[in-house]
Chain A
Amino acid sequence: MERIKKLKVPAFPIQLLDSGTRDGFGAGLVAAAELYPGLVGLCADVTESVRMADFAARYPDRFVEVGVAEQNLVGVAAGMALGGKTPFAASYAVFNPGRSWDQFRVSVCYSNLNVKLVGGHAGLNVGPDGATHQALEDLALTLSLPNVTVVVPADAYEAYQATIAIAGQVGPSYLRLARDKCPDVTSKNGSFTLGKISTLETGKDLSIVACGLLVAPAMTAAQRLRQEGLSVRVLNASTLKPFDTKTILTAARQTGAIVTAEEHQLHGGLSSLVSQTCAQHYPVPVESVAVKDTFGESGQSKELLAKYHLTTEDIQKAAWKVFNRKVKA
């Protein structure tokens, strides 16, 4: 087992700003591999599209192609961890944890092994591939497991920092990545801390808590709402487990109303975490922007986000709705 200590983290490659979370992951994996000699990468036949190809080219001895076999992918990763390695096991989120959940549950989480699960192409933004390939349940699957850290980066910069942070933390984790490009929203915010919900905009009338690719629309929605006269706090929930209840409850107390926004089913993800936290400790009105208990379909990413109500406008509407509920209460 290698010693985890403070190491000098290489700077984020600035040309990747405004790329995708998977691109940030790919660069972060290469950087983490330099820091941690025990890091190995495993992939199930989607190496280029989950952006593990750079790592594989630079560290051919530390890259393992397992073929189209996600159950074995995660089992082998668990065995690598038994042998003292720090394995990143990647595939698309619909397969990993979709097909490998039992292996992740028993071989990894119950054993508390140092395996980093990576689920790529999560959410509706995979577009034309249709519902079979749109992972909208992966957060529910992973959040329900003990011992695991669950991370959903909002952009390439954050994915880069998160990948390095996960590599340096001993224990199971799940990293959710998206296919689409997304604008940079976190680089000006500075450092990334696992387990912390960061405040991207301050405000007092209500809070928007978003994760992943819905953080950028949440920022745009907050700007527009400000022009409409509402002071909106924007929180980036990039770690969902352990959940930073302190920051959520501060927002509940100080703003009195919360909108959640995620590219995931309504049940079992960010909305559930925020609603549960507030209901138990400090009840305030909550409105949720999420996929409402339905499967997706083929279409362009933009068309799908519109049809399933995950856009900037949907967040704005939810904000006015939750604000009115707060005022009437």
Chain B
Amino acid sequence: MPDTHRPPTPQQLITLSETSAAIRQSVIKMLLAAGSGHSAGPLGMADVFTALYFSVLKHRPKQPTWVGRDYVLLSNGHICPVWYATLAEAGYFPKAELKTLRQLGSRLQGHPHLGSLPGIENTSGPLAQGLSQACGLAYALRLDKRNNQVYTLMSDAEYQEGQTWEAYLFAAKYRLANLTVLIDRNNIQIDGTTEDIMPLEPFKPKLESFGWHVQEIDGHDFSAIISALYLAQSFNTAPSAIICRTIPGKGVTFMEGDYHWHGSPPNRDQAAQALKQLRTIQGQTWNE
């Protein structure tokens, strides 16, 4: 049964925004150290990851394979820097390890690999595969009468992959109510905006027509994200999708909304500038 949802207090909201600012800073430092990787998506989804891991999820970072845990699967594997940063922030592994992202021998692979790192529940990279995996996991959990929730994070451009729609049909047919998909609706992909490359709108009615429960929220509003997640749990006849409207590159002014940052890392000067902005958000002083 879903937990009773109480809206976050003002103090909790402040703590959440400090956590997401810290996660964004980790992302910038990781990308700078790696010299390659995706900037826009990880920054854009930092608030959703923060709300999920620090407010809603049942998990034990020191016991990552705890049988009672909720599962988080990432379908758009390329935004894994934000997943790694969130897991480290939550205590799954030392934050010092974040700077090894994409390096030879690192547990932080360029795209997530099941078994490489505590808290990583699936392998993904080729788009849409995480959603099918989540469907199978949700089905297996229900078969064993287990109450664990399955959360899957996806990008909007993954809805250009045929496999996504195969999985949508499947989840609806089998009424996978223990499955919640969080969609990063940031409107960008590598070659441009989603609506230029291959339009997805009208997006929400499309998803609803497949028999899913669909909510659309501001993906930077912690209260909205948290209440949407609890509401999704309370639906017990169909899978849930939450369209999170996000700003790609959120928190770094020169990255916000610019699709050129989809697949690029910052250089040293850009990283310094980004960190300065993010520390200001967090209320800290710039002292490096």
Question: Complex: how many Å from CA A105 to CA B144?
Answer: 27
Q: Give the contacts of B127-157 with A (CB-CB under 8 A).
A: 128-129, 131-141, 143-144
In the complex, chain B residues whose CB is within 8 Å of the CB of A40 = 140, 143
Contact check, B122 vs A85: say whether CB atoms are below 8 A apart.
no
* A311 CB, min distance to chain B CBs, angstroms: 40
- A277 within 8 A of partner (CB): no
Q: Which residue of chain B is the closest to A67 with respect to CB atoms? A: B169
Q: Roughly how many angstroms separate A72 CA and B167 CA in the complex, as a whole number?
A: 6
* Most chain A CB inside 10 Å of its own CB: which residue of B133, B136, B163, B169: B136
A96 within 8 A of B: no
Task: Tell me if A78 counts as interface (CB < 8 A to partner B).
Answer: yes
Across the interface, name the chain B residue whose C-beta is closest to A83.
Answer: B140
Q: Contacts A67-B169, A67-B170, A85-B140 known; A75 to B113 CB distance under 8 Å? A: no
Instruction: Check B129–A106 contact: CB distance below 8 A.
Output: yes
Interface residues on B, range: 20 to 34
Q: Tell me whether chain B's interface is mostly helix, strand or loop, or mixed.
A: helix
Q: Is A161 an interface residue (CB 8 A)?
A: no
Given contacts A110-B123, A111-B123, contact A78 B166 (CB under 8 A): no
Contact B132 A83 (CB under 8 A): no
Which residues of the partner chain A approach B134 to less than 8 Å between Cβ atoms?
Answer: 79
Known: A78-B132, A79-B135, A111-B122. A72 touches B166 (CB 8 A): yes
* CA A40 to CA B143, docked complex, whole Å: 10
> A107, B170: Cβ atoms under 8 Å?
no
Q: Which of B132, B143, B163 contacts A61 (CB under 8 A)?
A: B143
Contact A111 B115 (CB under 8 A): yes
Q: Which residues of B contact A102 (CB under 8 A)?
A: 126, 129
> Closest CB-CB distance, B263 to chain A, in whole Å?
19
Q: Are A82 and B143 in contact (CB under 8 A)?
A: no
A71 to B133, CA, bound (A): 11
Inter-subunit contact A69/B166 (CB<8 Å) = yes
- In the assembled complex, 16 residue pairs joining A and B whose CB atoms fall closer than 8 Å, in A order, are A72-B135, A72-B163, A72-B167, A75-B135, A75-B136, A78-B129, A78-B133, A79-B138, A82-B114, A82-B121, A82-B137, A83-B137, A83-B139, A83-B141, A102-B129, A107-B122
| B residues in contact (CB < 8 Å) with A | 71, 113-115, 121-126, 128-129, 131-141, 143-144, 162-163, 166-167, 169-170, 173-174
